[in-house]
Structures are given as C-alpha cells and as structure tokens.
C-alpha cells in the first residue's frame, strides 16, 4: 500500500506539474526605503515565530511523562532567553555579518552587540525593512532551532549540560550553516554571486536538517531511556500536545510567509502553501495509521501536520498549491516510515521523534524543492538550474544542488553535534543518574512538580 502511494504521488507529480521552461527577466534594483507595511509584516512574523518556541514546549511537554513536563517547558524557555542574548551579542554577526576570510563560511564580529544594526534597511537582505527588524526576525529562527533537538534527549539530560550544549551548538553549528545558506556572502545560498544557489526559504537545511541530525547524534550518544521501548508510559497529556501543534501551525505562517520579507504576493503564496502542505501531511499520516493500526490517532495527525510544516519550509516561496500538496503527502509518508519502521528496526531512542519528523521531513522538503520549484511562483528563479526538475525541461541542476546542500548539512551537523555532546559530557556529565531519571527531571533538576496533588 505504501509503495503504491509513493508511485501514485510520483505519477501525479509528473502528470500535473510538468511545465516547459524556466526563465526570468532581470529586474531593476529598487531604492532603499523603509516600507511601513513590509516592516509591520516582518515584525508580526517575528512575533509568530517567537510563539512557536512556547508552542513547541507544549507539544513536547504533552508527549513526555508527567514527571518530566516542567523540564521540557524550562528547557524551551531557557533557550528563548539564552539564545536571544547570544544572538544579540555575537550570533547575528557570525551568521549574517560581513564574511570573515571571503570563503562564505562564517561572518566576522563587526556587528557584535548589534553595532551598526539600526533603523535603515540593509540592501543585501531587504530594501524596505529596517536592519534591526530583519535581525529580530532571524533571532527567532536561531531560538527555535536548538529547541527542536530537545525532542531527542527529553527525560534524560542534565539541565546545566543542556544549557552549555545549546549555547555551543548554536554558535558552532547553527550560525555557520545560517551563514552558508542565508548570508549575502554564504557559499551555499542564492545571494552570493557564484554561490551554489541552494533554495531554502525558511530553514529546510538551516533549521530542520540541522536540528534533525543533531537529534540523531543525541539519541545515539545518550542511549536509551530506562525501560525503552517495552516499559515506556504513553504521553501524559495529549491535549497539551494538540495545543502545541496548533500553536506551531499558527506560528509557522510567520516562519514561512514572513520570510518573504514583504507583504506581497510571494508572502501570500508561501502562506497558502504552508497551510496546504500541513493539511495534506496530517491527512496522509492519519490514513497510514488507520491502515496499519485500524484506528486513526490524534498523535498521528498532529505529528503529520508538523511534518508537513517542516517539509514545506524550504519550498514555500517556490511551489504552487498543487506542489504543496505533493510536498505534504511526501511529508506524511517518509517521516511516518522513519518513525514507524526505521526507528524500531535500528533501536535508537529518539524520544519525541525529532529526527524522524524534522530530520527526515527536512531532507524530503529540501529535495522536493528541487523537484517542484517554479518561476510561476517566484520570478527570481533562472534558466538552467533555478527551477525544479519538473519545470525546466527535466533539467536536474537544481535538484542536484539541493541534494548536495542536504548532504553537506547532514554531515556537518551530525559530526559537530556528536563531538559537542562528547565534549560537554567530559566536563559537565550529560546524562542524569539512574535515580534522577526514575524520580523525574522536574524534581531532580528544578525542585518543582508540574502537578500538585491536594489531599
């Protein structure tokens, strides 16, 4: 049945999405001028993306056991505070600042402390939005990305080690990859003349593959939770998880549509694609659960919806609504296979499926961008490599670029993340003791309880 679904998806893609050619006319450079509508839209987008981290806290918090719910909420809120300060002090400069060395690998520190990041637009990123507004929008991406990794090591990591790892990972993994893809000087993205031209609207590589591979490294390094998989309790509060998924879906409109950096038709297209892909993925996951388990599950449909949001993230500004449906169906199929079969067969304990959903979903989304991107949605795409495989007379150039970007991000993130887990473990001891794990992280790490029983 699954093979048949994949075959049908491929046939529909070829039949409905093939278009003859991909061409774009050069456009004249617009003057720098703050536009109040664009600025308001990007500020709203930043607020929506900020809401995603507390939303993630509810999503993850509802899925763990009740003795660990506060630990997940605390980890998410600590990241919101910690990485915001890191970004202001030096993270933004490393990720988006002028290139250090001219190779497109990392920014220098000339924007440290937001020096020179003010109320005027910075032309390389936006001609109508103040530089400081662009900075705060990107800050929220830097915040949520390490928070996604929490899903892999939930219920078994020391809080002090978690803080150190999150700070190091954001500085040494997230900031460089963001520079590669999104910086004006990054070697992998579309802004640098002569760069690879990898397409990534809002973080297929930078956010989801990056965090997903770190999650896999966490699961492999830390090992399984006590009792995994035979004696694990089910999620303690699915309504919390549903609330979290709803907040993520809501915030994701800022994530993807806000990345247009303008209140225009491209933002509207990304908004529509984001919703359609999530709906298609949630529906697909529910149907697959229904077929396999004879019952559709609440956990399945919200996990699928999040997977659809993940997969459409790199493609939202490049695909048609029909393309978004196909991206969403794939995001229902491939992460479902990873969670249902691959994790079980390999035996690793990715507690809340951070790798299965964000890693696998991000990989599919980045590759799907190389299949379905079209100039009909985004006029910046160009002949001989800009459009997806089905829109440029079957030219594989963009698809190959996407695959190359996926491979490099996967390798860099996994190796660096595994190394950072090893390093932090040597100095701070990553994993809690067996006794602390049995009691729960709420009490042992924070001296608090999520639920108070009154006699």
What are the start-end ranges of the E strands in 186-337?
A: none
Q: What is the pLDDT of residue 193?
A: 86
Q: What is the pLDDT of residue 395?
A: 84
Distance of alpha carbon 134 from alpha carbon 126, whole angstroms: 8
Distance of alpha carbon 377 from alpha carbon 180, whole angstroms: 24
Distance of alpha carbon 392 from alpha carbon 152, whole angstroms: 39
Distance of alpha carbon 237 from alpha carbon 216, whole angstroms: 25
**Residue 356 — pLDDT band, cuts 50, 70, 90?**
very high
- Which of 217, 105, 242, 97 minimizes the C-alpha distance to 152? 217
pLDDT at residue 369 is higher than 80? yes
Q: What is the pLDDT of residue 77?
A: 97
Burial readout 229-265 (b: 16 or more C-beta within 10 A, e: otherwise): eeeeeebbbeebbbbbbebbbebbbbbbbbbbbbbee
Half-sphere exposure in the Cβ direction for 92 (13 Å, CA): 23
Structure tokens at 53: 């981290």
pLDDT at residue 122 is higher than 90? yes
pLDDT tens by residue, 83-110 = 999 999 999 999 999 999 889 999 999 9
- Which of 63, 10, 56 minimizes the C-alpha distance to 333? 10
**Residue 231 — pLDDT band, cuts 50, 70, 90?**
confident
Return the higher-pLDDT residue of 18 and 391.
391
Q: Whole-number mean pLDDT of the chain?
A: 92
Q: What is the pLDDT of residue 454?
A: 59
Q: What is the pLDDT of residue 385?
A: 59
**Residue 7 — pLDDT band, cuts 50, 70, 90?**
very low
For each of the domains in the chain, give its residue range(s) and CATH number, in order of start: 33-446 (1.10.3430.10)
Radius of gyration over alpha carbons of the chain, in Å? Answer: 21
pLDDT at residue 446 is higher than 60? yes
Lowest-pLDDT range of 191-195, 284-288, 354-358, 416-420? 191-195
pLDDT at residue 393 is higher than 90? no
**Residue 29 — pLDDT band, cuts 50, 70, 90?**
low
Distance of alpha carbon 25 from alpha carbon 36, whole angstroms: 28
Give the mean pLDDT of 111-121: 96
**Residue 194 — pLDDT band, cuts 50, 70, 90?**
confident
pLDDT tens by residue, 291-347 = 999 999 999 999 999 999 999 999 998 999 999 999 999 999 999 999 999 999 999
- Which of 39, 32, 87 minimizes the C-alpha distance to 261? 39
**Which residues lie below 8 Å from residue 398, measured CB to CB, with a gap of 6+?**
197, 199, 369, 370, 373, 385, 386, 387, 388, 389, 392
Q: What is the pLDDT of residue 18?
A: 43
Q: How far is CA 405 from the centre of its chain?
A: 15
Give the mean pLDDT of 74-89: 98
Return the higher-pLDDT residue of 323 and 24.
323
Lowest-pLDDT range of 127-141, 271-285, 379-393? 379-393
């Amino acid at each position: 049945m699954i093979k048949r679904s994949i075959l049908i998806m491929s046939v529909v893609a070829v039949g409905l999405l093939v278009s003859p050619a991909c061409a774009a006319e050069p456009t004249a450079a617009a003057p720098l001028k703050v536009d109040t509508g664009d600025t308001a839209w990007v500020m709203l987008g930043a607020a929506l993306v900020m809401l995603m981290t507390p939303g993630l806290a509810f999503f993850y918090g509802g899925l763990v056991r009740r003795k660990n719910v506060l630990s997940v909420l605390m980890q998410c809120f600590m990241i919101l505070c910690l990485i915001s300060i890191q970004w202001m002090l030096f993270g933004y400069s490393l990720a988006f600042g002028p290139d250090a060395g001219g190779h497109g690998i990392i920014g220098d520190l000339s924007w440290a402390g937001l020096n020179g990041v003010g109320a005027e637009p910075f032309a390389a990123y936006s001609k109508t939005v103040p530089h400081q507004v662009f900075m705060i929008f990107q800050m929220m991406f830097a915040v949520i990305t390490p928070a996604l990794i929490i899903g892999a090591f939930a219920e078994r990591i020391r809080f002090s080690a978690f803080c150190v790892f999150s700070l190091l990972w954001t500085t040494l993994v997230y900031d460089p990859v963001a520079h590669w893809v999104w910086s004006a000087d990054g070697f992998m993205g579309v802004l640098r003349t002569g760069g690879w031209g990898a397409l990534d609207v809002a973080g297929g590589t930078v956010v989801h593959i990056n965090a997903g591979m770190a999650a896999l490294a966490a699961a492999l390094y830390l090992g399984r939770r006590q009792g995994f998989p035979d004696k694990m309790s089910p999620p303690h509060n699915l309504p919390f998880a549903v609330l979290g998924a709803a907040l993520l879906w809501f915030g994701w409109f800022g994530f993807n549509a806000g990345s247009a950096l303008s209140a225009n038709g491209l933002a509207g297209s990304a908004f529509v694609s984001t919703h359609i892909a999530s709906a298609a993925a949630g529906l697909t996951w529910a149907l697959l659960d229904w077929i396999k388990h004879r019952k559709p599950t609440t956990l399945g449909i919200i996990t699928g919806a999040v997977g659809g949001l993940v997969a459409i993230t790199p493609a939202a500004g490049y695909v048609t609504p029909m393309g978004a449906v196909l991206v969403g169906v794939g995001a229902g199929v491939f992460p479902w296979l990873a969670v249902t079969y691959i994790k079980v067969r390999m035996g690793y304990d990715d507690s809340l499926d951070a790798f299965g959903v964000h890693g696998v979903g991000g990989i599919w989304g980045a590759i799907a961008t190389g299949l379905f991107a079209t100039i009909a949605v985004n006029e910046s795409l160009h002949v001989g490599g800009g459009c997806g495989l089905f829109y440029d007379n079957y030219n594989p150039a963009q698809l190959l670029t996407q695959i190359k970007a996926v491979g490099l991000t996967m390798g860099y993130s996994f190796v660096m993340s595994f190394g950072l887990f090893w390093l932090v473990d040597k100095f701070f001891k990553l994993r809690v003791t067996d006794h602390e794990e049995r009691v729960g992280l709420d009490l042992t790490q924070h001296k608090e309880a999520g639920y108070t029983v009154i006699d």
